[in-house]
Structure 1
Amino acid sequence: MNLPKANLDRPVAVIGAGLVGAGWAIAFARAGLDVRIYDANPRTAENALPWAATQLEALHRHGLIDEAPATIAARLTLADSLAQAIDGAAYVQESVLERIDVKRQLLLDLDAVADARVIIGSSSSGIKASDFACDLRISPRVLIAHPVNPPYLVPVVELVPSTQTSAETVAFTDALMRGIGQSVVRVRKEIEGFVLNRLQAALLREAWALQRDGIASCEDIDKTVRDGLGWRWSFMGPFETIDLNAPGGVADYAARLGPLYHSIARSRTNDGPWDDELIARVERDRRQHLCADELAARRDWRDERLMAFAAERAKHAADS
């Protein structure tokens, strides 16, 4: 798969080298960018490089990269400090723990050492940038750039500015993300969870409730998405799906089924949080199909399937 070059003459930095951060590092390096990786935990940082090398070999095996894996891996280097990681960098991808206090402290640290040019994107899954990135010297150059994990396989990225993010920052990050092959979603207003996780939250809310109420098992609920909804959702979104599912299009669909969906939504208005008893039930249900000690192997299986899917989608990209 040939990705457009990001056209940067300066490196990018990835702060936080867990699965999301290391995945971002692959996405940037694959597009031809030099990447510096820093994590406050040296062991996490050291593990990122061999893990990335393994993933690059798999990408090459599936025909998703044209360059030799070793050539791409050579663009990844570890930095000994935050200052070293961002020195002269054009862009920083923050991928630290999903906690306001942790992200705020990192932004304070970045504010102390960042130059006047660097743009900072946060991988926050649902915390708004305005909750941790405002009233700093760098605030106009900070926004959310939320990926799906793993970002080098699932291309969508949500760009969400804070109340203090400049339009130039959004434009730069949009161009960068498109340049490395991501599919950019512009979120117009800040909202908890952004778009992707709010959509996922609605589905998860119903999935947990169906299991709780004894309607269906975890496996049958998964099967409904995997072997039903997911087939269409793999190449079209919910609005296009319903637009094609009624003779007269989306308005016709709304007239036919809108009352049903409204009734379903009203039936769940009193749902509370997932409690310990429900979590234990779902855990027991899931462990019947996947033992806890098989989770890592199943993640590897997932990534292999995503690679095969990405390769197939690339063949038909012109048709979408």
Structure 2
Amino acid sequence: MNQSKIDMSKPVAVVGAGLVGAGWAIAFARAGLSVRVYDANARVASEAIPWAGEQLSALYRHGLIAEPPENVKARLVIAHSLEEAIEGAAYVQESVLERVEIKRKLMTDIDAVSDANIIIGSSSSGIQASMFANDLSISPRVLIAHPVNPPYLVPVVELVPSTQTSQETIQFADTFMQAIGQSVVHVRKEIEGFVLNRLQAALLREAWALQRDGIATCEDIDKTVRDGLGWRWSFMGPFETIDLNAPGGVADYANRLGPLYHSIARSRVDDGPWDTELIGRVEQDRRQHLSAADLGRRREWRDERLMEFAVERSKAGPR
């Protein structure tokens, strides 16, 4: 198989049909690919297709897909076994539970039934591929392809090779993900949490600590990001942000504010894990603004906002 070229006539497989897997199925089908959806829990797989149809209708309503949603949905089919899902597929997106032993079992099962060409991407949020995919015949063809949920609305995908992933597999995944409209980030070395979740972890660490210490409520912390940092971060990253925030650019910014940031970082070196008491306090704080019963409705609201944002981003054209 020439892994530098993508044969869009071949099907792809989604293994694990929860929110992330079903989201990937939409992203693949939207790009014109035939998608086989498999989950060891048949109920989860059966629910994924109708849910995807609802999301496709919303995408069509916002003008984010040109085809009628029923045409795109028709490219999604349920596979009743792992072997049926991956037979003849060009690519497999694994989206099972974030546990090493479950991912390892799936990789050994794929190893037993796959052909010599198939590429496997894992949706792992932070577990390195070397921990579950090494020392198999498929190992050179496995890498992390970690999305932001939902992947059909937020385009970034982190590609993280294991210690045994081939360069050809990385190139294939890069070309493939770009072909379906994703924004590819290459993580050059394995590290827990990759790039996205390590950046998110740093912000969350400080957010929880600020609430714990009585500095600000959850709502005011959210407001600081939503109505402040997030405005810039919606179209530029942290390095470009600071490069533009000092007259002389990034070096000038570092010289001016580097000591402050170092002092802030040092003030948090003894933070421990989020304990039961703190989690309870934050839960109580959040429930003042959103009841548990309304979480599903609010997720739908979030996805509608993301669709509106995607429309506006598309008007701006390439960066």
TM-score (norm 2): 0.98
Is the contact made by 2:30 and 2:65 (CA closer than 8 Å) also made in structure 1? Answer: yes
1:165-212 per-residue CA deviation (whole Å, 9 max, x = no partner) reads: 000000001000000000000000000000000000000000000000
**Per-residue CA shift, 1:6-65, capped at 9, x if unaligned?**
642210000000000000000000000000000000110000010000000000000000
Q: Which residue in 2 is equivalent to 1:161? A: 161
User: What RMSD over aligned residues (CA atoms) do the two structures have, in Å?
Assistant: 0.9
Measure the CA separation in 2 of the matches of 1:309 and 1:6. 29
Distance in 2 (CA, whole Å) between partners of 1:205 and 1:213 is: 12
Which residue is 1:31 aligned to? 31
CA distance in 1, matches of 2:76, 2:62: 21
2:146 touches 2:157 (CA, 8 Å); kept in 1?
yes
Q: Counterparts of 2:137 and 2:36 in 1: how far apart (Å)?
A: 23
Amino acid at match of 1:271: D
Percentage of pairs with the same residue: 77
Q: What letter matches 2:148 in structure 1?
A: V
2:49 aligned with 1:49, yes or no?
A: yes
AA in 1 matched with 2:17:
A
SS at match of 2:93: strand
After TM superposition, list the pairs within 5 Å mapping 1:194-205 onto structure 2.
194-205=194-205
Find the aligned partners of 2:292 and 2:182 in 1 and give their Cα distance: 32
Q: Which runs of 4+ in 1 moved over 2 A?
A: none
Match of 2:103 in 1: 103
Matches within 5 A, 1:220-235: 220-235=220-235
1:304 aligned partner: 304
- In the other structure, the counterpart of 1:19 is 19
Report the equivalent of 2:183: 183
Work out whether residues 6 and 32 of structure 1, in 8 Å CA contact, stay in contact via their aligned partners in 2.
no
Secondary structure of the residue aligned to 1:248 is coil
Write the distance in 1 (CA, Å) between the matches of 2:184 and 2:16: 22
* Residue number in structure 2 paired with 1:219: 219
- The one-character-per-residue Cα deviations of 1:77-112 (angstroms, maximum 9, x if unpaired) are 000000000000000000000000110000011010
1:94 corresponds in structure 2 to: 94
Q: Distance in 1 between matches of 2:299 and 2:217?
A: 22
Matched residues in 1 for 2:6 and 2:165: separation? Answer: 22
Provide structure 1 residue ranges, at least 5 long, that are not aligned to the other structure: none
Instruction: Write out per-residue CA displacement over residues 232-287 of structure 1, whole angstroms, 9 at most, x where no aligned residue.
Output: 00000000000000000000000000000000000000000000000000000000
Q: How far apart, in 1, do the equivalents of 2:165 and 2:49 lie?
A: 32
How many correspondences in the alignment? 315
Check the 8 A contact 1:127/1:192 in 2, yes or no: yes
Query: Which amino acid is the alignment partner of residue 31 of structure 2?
Result: A
SS in 1 for 2:189: coil
Secondary structure, aligned partner of 2:104: helix
Following the alignment from structure 1 to structure 2, what is the Cα–Cα distance between the partners of residues 120 and 229? 36
What is the SS of the residue equivalent to 1:297? Answer: helix
Q: What's the counterpart of residue 264 of structure 2?
A: 264
Q: Secondary structure at the match of 1:64?
A: coil
Q: Distance in 2 between matches of 1:61 and 1:119?
A: 34
CA contact under 8 A between 2:129 and 2:144: conserved in structure 1?
yes
Amino acid at match of 2:27: A
Secondary structure in 2 matching 1:185 = strand
TM-score (norm 1): 0.98
The answer on whether the counterparts of 1:156 and 1:184 sit within 8 Å (CA) in structure 2 is yes
Residue 70 of structure 1 pairs with residue 70 of structure 2 = yes
Q: Give structure 2 stretches of 5+ with no counterpart.
A: none
**Kept in 1: contact 2:123–2:144 (CA 8 A):** yes
Counterparts of 1:19 and 1:8 in 2: how far apart (Å)? Answer: 24
CA distance in 2, matches of 1:232, 1:37: 37
Instruction: Using the TM superposition, give the Cα deviation of residue 317 of structure 1 relative to its aligned residue in structure 2, in angstroms.
Output: 1.8
